[in-house]
């Protein structure tokens, strides 16, 4: 079977580096502290006593608006039970919405699920429980509340979902897919392609496809958010938006993928399964440090393990670094997919807010990790030289009448998936001098070699261990020799 480098060079029909899944959270900065919360209720909404009861009224109005929106638009509403696979339930609704969509996008389904979330709660201060106007204390508490899933069919992003709840601080979670975005852009540009599950199987113009994938940035994400924020129900009024109660976007999960489609799926799959067997130690600290280019110590949080998952007949290998992970699997029995999943941007010293600088930094981290892993595997798969080649490069030879030595770069066995190191092999110098002695008078001078004196410690008798005058050389007990008659007797004894 061909090695890794040969497969990548001769049997890959399409290479695509793109952003995969994006999971974002939208939050209102002016509702993240107690002072801002009280100011919103007292001065923006006009409640005389800022309390969680006021937030309850806002939340009830918001939930009623969602129900009215679903009735007016004819959107099906499904209540999810515990353990339901929401994506599988919503898939037929999304497919029907995409087929009936006229190009402006639509809501395919509204799902309701009870989940845990942090919410603002208030309670009377100690000693003021019976007061007519008590002083309220605030804090965030975990509670099981209804979450609303808006499954969207967007003209730019394809299938996506928008998740929110009716409790302060009214967070929003977004799920997007960079591959579906690239597919929509190819359709607009008239580029023919064959779609694969969450990716591309083939493309008529791979270079233009890669340029489209590189074009994806935070501008497209923000455009999607505000396009739907103006269409979907919101707990904030137009006056609230003008007062500065607007959403900001932050990264919750960011995936960078590298897809290599093979022309011979059977050979690619067999090689990938062999790759798994050879890299079961991928999760060791030395290998993780090599892949992510970060120092891994005993204090580094996160597990240190390699996980090999076999779902059905599609194995995948996963290794972890802090809150993040990198995984490889053979996608659709056609392509080798390498994905870096960044769950906490601060693991790499990058901010969480969605902007151009953080976006570029996260993408560079993901692409660098993917490439380093592939390079390490390619180095491991290089075969060692055969016996004939090894003997040929290590024998001395004659070059222009002067003795010369051939040096061969022989790969050492890699450790923990590292790229193979090279060392220079030299033939013995004594054999070269015997075969090709130096002409008379032309023998090169040897360099002086510094050999430090080795002091040998030996046992001393009580008579030898006597007083020595200041400045006298120390002969015992550290020197290997002793001088007769030395040292002189101690005058003080």
| Tens of pLDDT, residues 146-174 | 999 999 999 999 999 999 999 999 999 99
Q: Is 418 helix (H, G, I), strand (E, B) or coil?
A: coil
pLDDT for 9 beyond 60:
yes
Residues 194 and 342 in one domain: yes
In a 13 Å sphere around the CA of 94, the CA atoms on its Cβ side amount to 19
Cis bond before residue 19 (omega within 30° of 0): no
Mapping DSSP to helix (H, G, I), strand (E, B) and coil, where does residue 195 land? strand
Q: Is residue 483 part of a domain?
A: no
- Give the 3-state secondary structure of residue 207: helix
Say if residue 110 is in the same domain as residue 197.
no
* Spatial CA neighbour of 417 closest among 215, 221, 268, 277: 277
Is 267's pLDDT higher than 90?
no
Q: Are residues 37 and 10 in the same domain?
A: no
Amino acid 130: pLDDT: 79
| Mean pLDDT on 52-80 | 94
Q: Are residues 240 and 373 in the same domain?
A: no
Q: Establish if 403 belongs to a structural domain.
A: no
Greater confidence, 85 or 298?
85
- pLDDT tens figures, 241-262: 999 999 999 999 999 999 988 8
Mean pLDDT lowest for which of 34-38, 51-55, 287-291, 310-314?
Answer: 287-291
For residue 243 the two structure tokens come to: 């007062």
- pLDDT for 475 equals 47
In a domain? residue 429: no
Residue 78's CB is within 10 A of a number of other CB atoms, namely 17
Cβ(259)–Cβ(335) below 8 Å: yes
> Per residue in 197-232, pLDDT tens?
888 999 999 999 999 999 999 999 999 999 999 999
Nearest residue to 428 via CA among 389, 392, 395, 401: 395
Average pLDDT, the chain: 78
Q: Is 390 among the domain residues?
A: no
**Which of the four pLDDT bands, split at 50, 70 and 90, describes residue 333?**
confident
Q: How many CB atoms lie within 10 A of CB 146?
A: 16
Same domain, 334 and 380: yes
Count of the separate structural domains present in the chain: 2
Q: Is residue 392 part of a domain?
A: no
What confidence score (pLDDT) does residue 336 get? 85
Lowest mean pLDDT among 62-66, 104-108, 268-272, 439-443: 439-443
Range of the domain at 46: 29-124+139-169+217-246
Do 184 and 104 reside in the same domain of the chain?
no
Residue 283 covered by a domain: yes
Closest CA to 339 of 361, 366, 307, 316: 366
Q: Would you call 290 helix, strand, or coil by DSSP?
A: helix
């Amino acid at each position: 079977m061909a090695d890794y480098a040969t497969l990548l060079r001769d049997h890959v029909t399409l290479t695509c580096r793109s952003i995969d899944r994006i999971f974002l959270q939208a939050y209102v900065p002016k509702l993240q502290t107690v002072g801002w919360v009280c100011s919103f209720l007292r001065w923006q909404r006009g409640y005389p006593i800022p309390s969680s009861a006021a937030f309850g009224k806002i939340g009830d109005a918001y939930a009623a608006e969602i129900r009215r929106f679903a009735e007016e638009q004819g959107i099906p509403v499904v209540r999810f039970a515990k353990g339901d696979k929401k994506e599988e339930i919503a898939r037929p609704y999304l497919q029907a919405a995409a087929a009936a969509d006229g190009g402006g996008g639509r809501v395919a389904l509204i799902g309701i699920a009870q989940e845990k979330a942090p919410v603002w709660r208030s309670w009377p201060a100690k000693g003021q429980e019976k007061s007519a106007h008590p002083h309220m204390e605030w804090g965030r508490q975990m509670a099981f509340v209804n979450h609303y899933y808006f499954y969207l069919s967007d003209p730019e992003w394809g299938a996506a979902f928008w998740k929110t709840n009716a409790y302060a601080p009214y967070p929003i979670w977004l799920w997007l897919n960079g591959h579906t975005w690239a597919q929509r852009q190819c359709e607009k540009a008239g580029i023919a392609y064959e779609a694969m599950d969450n990716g591309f199987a083939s493309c008529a113009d791979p270079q233009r496809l890669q340029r489209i994938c590189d074009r994806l940035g935070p501008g497209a994400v923000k455009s999607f958010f505000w396009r739907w924020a103006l269409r979907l129900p919101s707990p904030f009024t137009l006056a609230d938006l003008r007062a500065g109660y607007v959403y900001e976007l932050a990264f919750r999960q960011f995936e960078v993928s590298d897809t290599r489609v093979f022309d011979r799926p059977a050979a690619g799959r067999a090689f990938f399964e062999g790759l798994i067997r050879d890299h079961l130690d991928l999760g060791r600290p030395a290998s993780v440090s090599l892949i992510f280019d970060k120092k891994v110590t005993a204090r580094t949080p996160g597990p240190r393990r390699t996980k090999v998952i076999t779902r059905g007949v599609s194995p995948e290998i996963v290794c972890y670094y802090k809150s993040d992970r990198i995984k490889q699997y053979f996608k659709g029995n056609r392509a080798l997919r390498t994905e870096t999943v960044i769950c906490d941007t601060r693991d790499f010293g990058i901010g969480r807010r969605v902007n151009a600088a953080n976006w570029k930094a996260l993408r560079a981290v993901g692409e660098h990790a993917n490439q380093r892993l592939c390079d390490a595997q390619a180095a491991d798969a290089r075969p060692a030289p055969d016996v004939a080649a090894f003997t040929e490069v290590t024998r001395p030879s004659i070059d222009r009448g002067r003795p010369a030595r051939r040096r061969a770069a022989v790969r050492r066995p890699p450790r923990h998936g590292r790229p193979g190191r090279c060392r220079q092999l030299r033939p013995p110098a004594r054999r070269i001098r015997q075969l090709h002695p130096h002409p008379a008078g032309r023998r090169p001078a040897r360099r002086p070699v510094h050999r430090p004196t080795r002091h040998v410690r030996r046992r001393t008798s009580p008579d030898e261990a006597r007083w020595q005058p200041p400045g006298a050389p120390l002969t015992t007990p550290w020197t290997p020799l002793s001088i007769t008659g030395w040292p002189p007797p101690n005058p003080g004894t």
